[in-house]
């Protein structure tokens, strides 16, 4: 009898433990279920859907080269898989473990009806694999990373089967183009194509290109004006490469890759946190933040829109928000600055910002997004950073963001490095660029006062 191979955020054929197990058992029916019911408010955002469309097309092509193909179905995962298994006469489903709360629920529901075999491969180590002396999970990143490092390297990546046996007949499939994953009018994803090649080939090409740059990562990663990071985040989110594959390729280059590998461990850390606290995306990990007097979004609406559109009058924030809108990605340092600005200078609840990122990032990832937003807010499980208020203008200067601003904020393109970080202060602001929507000092003081109130 055929077995089902259930793809989710693991859209690859290499180093795919579920595929290897399925292929060793007989004919395989690979399936992707577009499921907006199970995740509910965490259904994929617009930018993620654009990525998904192209990644699924690429996966189907790769499967066909091995004599197989992808079946597409839509609906609640557990119902769809049960119906498909019945149609094919299959009893068993192979899949990789996923850790988003809705996927864990879906896994439970599927396992009730079918023989579900789950395999590892989304992370370097399964959550809970490293534990503190007293058997708990690590709440703080640094000791967690140290403990993971001791278990590295990860197992060597698996080979890919040369041929995947086909069933006697293929089940019916939806047409990808009927799913409406791509924007119609306006085509806001026009700028995505230039930067990204979704799918396993694109992911591996990105790894190959990055290998030559690993040595420059420790300095380059902080500079938004240079391409100093791997840009692997959407590929890793969709599982188009495994973190183990990235680990082995990077360590085989002769550069000192430790700082980069530690960023990769951040993914494991965030996924461990959402396993402990599944509501991380919607609930403060520190209860005292439930008393925070965030501004009412009706009153703060204008500021929130200015932030989303990149019209706050803070060039570094605006450049980041426009890069996000145009390309579906934002440089990590600028994500921190833009998030901090929203939460502290504008005193807007981090959840509104996280939601906007969820909709606009091609790498939108429940664990990474939620844990990083709460980290910036100080409401997270780890160190409380609320009172460390980033000064966007100083950050912009320190990390040399001049060229980055010129690229994303064309109104400021003619300004020199001396004035571009803070045109207002130098009387150099062009008429078509907004004045600061709030002064740095005023924003900072309002934020600190609100914070003092929750601390009683
Ligand atoms: P590199 O610097 O090359 O790092 C390699 C990989 O390590 C990344 O692809 C990513 O998978 C992982 N990584 C790096 N930094 C982090 C981090 N801080 N936390 C978790 N994993 C990390 N990352 C997402 O993948 N999805 C998100 O939705 C997301 N939202 C974020 C929201 C905020 C407010 C902040 C401050 C950060 C967020 N990040 C998110 C983390 C980080 O900004 C991106 O992973 C990184 O910028 C991606 O670029 P890169 O692949 O070139 O990273």
CATH classification of the domain holding 1:
3.40.50.620
> 445 and 372, same structural domain?
yes
Ligand 1 atom 13: the closest Cα is on which residue? 263
Token pair of 259 as six digits: 């700082």
d(CA 231, CA 109): 35
The label of the residue with tokens 């960023």 reads 263
* CB-count burial class (<10 Å; 0-12, 13-18, 19+) for 148: buried
Residue 7 Cα distances to 19, 77, 373, 386, 446, angstroms: 9, 11, 28, 39, 47
- Please provide residue 96's backbone torsions phi and psi, each rounded to the nearest 5 degrees: -90, 145
Q: Do the domain assignments include residue 182?
A: no
- 31 and 70 Cβ atoms separated by less than 8 Å: yes
Return the active site residues.
263, 266, 294, 332, 350, 373
What pLDDT is attached to residue 385?
Answer: 78
**CA-based Rg of the chain, rounded to a whole angstrom?**
23
> 323 and 413, same structural domain?
yes
Convert the pLDDT of each residue in 208-258 to its tens digit: 999 999 999 999 999 999 999 999 999 999 999 999 999 999 999 888 999
Token pair of 451 as six digits: 């914070």
Cα pseudo-dihedral 263, 268, 273, 278, rounded to 10: 120
The domain tally of the chain equals 3
Closest CA to 171 of 72, 82, 75: 72
Q: Do the domain assignments include residue 24?
A: yes
Question: Is the beta carbon of 330 within 6 A of some atom in ligand 1?
Answer: no
Question: Is the beta carbon of 337 within 6 A of some atom in ligand 1?
Answer: no
- 383 and 141 Cβ atoms separated by less than 8 Å: no
ipTM above 0.90, yes or no: yes
Q: Which residues of 39-62 are buried (b: 16+ CB within 10 A; e: fewer)?
A: beebebbbbbbbbbbbbbebbbeb
Q: Do the domain assignments include residue 179?
A: no
> 364 and 228, same structural domain?
no
What pLDDT is attached to residue 123?
Answer: 98
CB atoms within 10 A of CB 283: 15
Quote the ligand 1 centre to 265 CA distance (angstroms).
Answer: 11
Quote the ligand 1 centre to 254 CA distance (angstroms).
Answer: 24
> 327 and 240, same structural domain?
no
> 446 and 306, same structural domain?
yes
Quote the ligand 1 centre to 332 CA distance (angstroms).
Answer: 6
Token pair of 109 as six digits: 């529901």
Question: Is the beta carbon of 141 within 6 A of some atom in ligand 1?
Answer: no
What pLDDT is attached to residue 386?
Answer: 85
What pLDDT is attached to residue 140?
Answer: 94
Give the range of the structural domain holding residue 227, as residue numbers without chain letter. Answer: 123-154+198-276
For the chain, which residues score pLDDT lower than 50? none
> 358 and 416, same structural domain?
yes
- Please provide residue 7's backbone torsions phi and psi, each rounded to the nearest 5 degrees: -90, 140
Quote the ligand 1 centre to 123 CA distance (angstroms).
Answer: 14
Quote the ligand 1 centre to 411 CA distance (angstroms).
Answer: 29
Ligand 1 atom 7: the closest Cα is on which residue? 264
Of all atoms in ligand 1, which is nearest to the CA of residue 335? 36
- Please provide residue 187's backbone torsions phi and psi, each rounded to the nearest 5 degrees: -80, 85
> Taking phi first (over 0 means left), then psi (-120 to 50 degrees means alpha), and beta for anything else, what does residue 90 get?
beta
Q: Do the domain assignments include residue 189?
A: no
Q: Do the domain assignments include residue 250?
A: yes
Quote the ligand 1 centre to 217 CA distance (angstroms).
Answer: 14
Token pair of 126 as six digits: 């399964």
Note if the pTM is more than 0.90.
Answer: yes
Half-sphere exposure of 16 (CA within 13 A, CB side): 29
Mutate to test the pocket of ligand 1, among 332, 343, 360 (most ligand atoms within 8 A of CB): 332
Question: Is the beta carbon of 374 within 6 A of some atom in ligand 1?
Answer: no
Cα pseudo-dihedral 174, 178, 179, 182, rounded to 10: 140
Mutate to test the pocket of ligand 1, among 99, 263, 268 (most ligand atoms within 8 A of CB): 263
Of all atoms in ligand 1, which is nearest to the CA of residue 363? 26
> 386 and 244, same structural domain?
no
Question: Is the beta carbon of 264 within 6 A of some atom in ligand 1?
Answer: yes
Q: Do the domain assignments include residue 171?
A: no
Task: Assign residue 128 the CATH number of its domain.
Answer: 1.25.40.80
Task: Assign residue 440 the CATH number of its domain.
Answer: 1.10.579.10
List, edge to edge, every strand of the sheet that includes 3-7.
71-74, 28-34, 3-7, 92-96, 115-119
Token pair of 193 as six digits: 């194509």
What pLDDT is attached to residue 53?
Answer: 98
Question: Is the beta carbon of 204 within 6 A of some atom in ligand 1?
Answer: no
> 116 and 127, same structural domain?
no
Ligand 1 atom 50: the closest Cα is on which residue? 231
Quote the ligand 1 centre to 104 CA distance (angstroms).
Answer: 23
> 291 and 436, same structural domain?
yes
> 349 and 309, same structural domain?
yes
> 137 and 111, same structural domain?
no
> 302 and 244, same structural domain?
no
Q: Do the domain assignments include residue 165?
A: no
What pLDDT is attached to residue 370?
Answer: 98
Mutate to test the pocket of ligand 1, among 213, 360, 372 (most ligand atoms within 8 A of CB): 372
């Amino acid at each position: 009898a055929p077995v089902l191979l259930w793809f989710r955020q693991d859209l690859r054929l290499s180093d795919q433990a579920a595929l290897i197990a399925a292929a060793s058992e007989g004919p395989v029916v690979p399936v992707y279920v577009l499921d907006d019911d199970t995740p509910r408010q965490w259904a994929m955002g617009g930018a993620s859907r654009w990525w998904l469309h192209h990644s699924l097309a690429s996966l189907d092509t790769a499967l066909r080269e091995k004599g197989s193909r992808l079946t597409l179905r839509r609906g609640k995962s557990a119902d769809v898989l049960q119906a498909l298994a019945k149609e094919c006469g299959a009893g068993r489903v192979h899949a990789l473990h996923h850790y988003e709360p809705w996927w864990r629920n879906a896994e439970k529901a599927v396992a009730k009806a079918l023989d579900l075999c789950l395999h590892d491969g989304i992370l370097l180590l399964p959550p809970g694999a490293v534990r503190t002396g007293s058997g708990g999970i690590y709440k703080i990143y640094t000791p967690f990373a140290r403990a993971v490092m001791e278990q590295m390297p990860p197992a060597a990546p698996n080979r890919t089967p040369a041929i995947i046996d086909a069933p006697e007949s293929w089940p019916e499939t939806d047409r990808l183009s009927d799913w409406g994953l791509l924007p119609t009018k306006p085509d806001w994803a026009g700028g995505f194509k230039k930067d990204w090649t979704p799918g396993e080939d694109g992911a591996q090409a990105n790894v190959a290109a990055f290998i030559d740059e690993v040595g420059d990562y420790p300095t380059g990663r902080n500079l938004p004006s240079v391409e100093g990071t791997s840009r692997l985040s959407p590929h890793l989110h969709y599982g188009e490469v495994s973190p183990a594959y990235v680990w082995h390729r990077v360590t085989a280059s002769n550069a000192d890759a430790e700082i980069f590998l530690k960023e990769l461990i951040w993914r494991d850390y965030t996924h461990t946190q959402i396993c402990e606290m599944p509501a991380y995306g919607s609930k403060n990990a520190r209860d005292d933040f439930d008393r925070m007097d965030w501004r009412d979004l009706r009153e703060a609406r204008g500021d929130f829109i200015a932030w989303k559109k990149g019209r706050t009058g803070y060039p570094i924030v605006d450049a980041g928000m426009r890069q996000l809108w145009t390309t579906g990605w934002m440089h990590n340092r600028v994500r921190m600055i833009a998030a901090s600005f929203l939460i502290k200078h504008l005193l807007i609840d981090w959840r509104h910002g996280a939601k906007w990122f969820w909709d606009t990032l091609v790498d939108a990832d429940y664990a990474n997004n939620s844990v990083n937003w709460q980290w910036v807010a100080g409401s997270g499980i780890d160190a409380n950073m609320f009172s460390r208020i980033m000064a966007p203008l100083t950050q912009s200067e320190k990390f040399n963001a001049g060229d980055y601003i010129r690229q994303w904020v064309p109104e400021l393109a003619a300004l020199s490095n001396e004035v571009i970080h803070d045109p207002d202060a130098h009387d150099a602001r062009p008429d078509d660029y907004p004045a600061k929507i709030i002064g740095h000092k005023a924003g900072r003081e309002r934020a600190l006062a609100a914070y003092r109130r929750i601390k009683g």
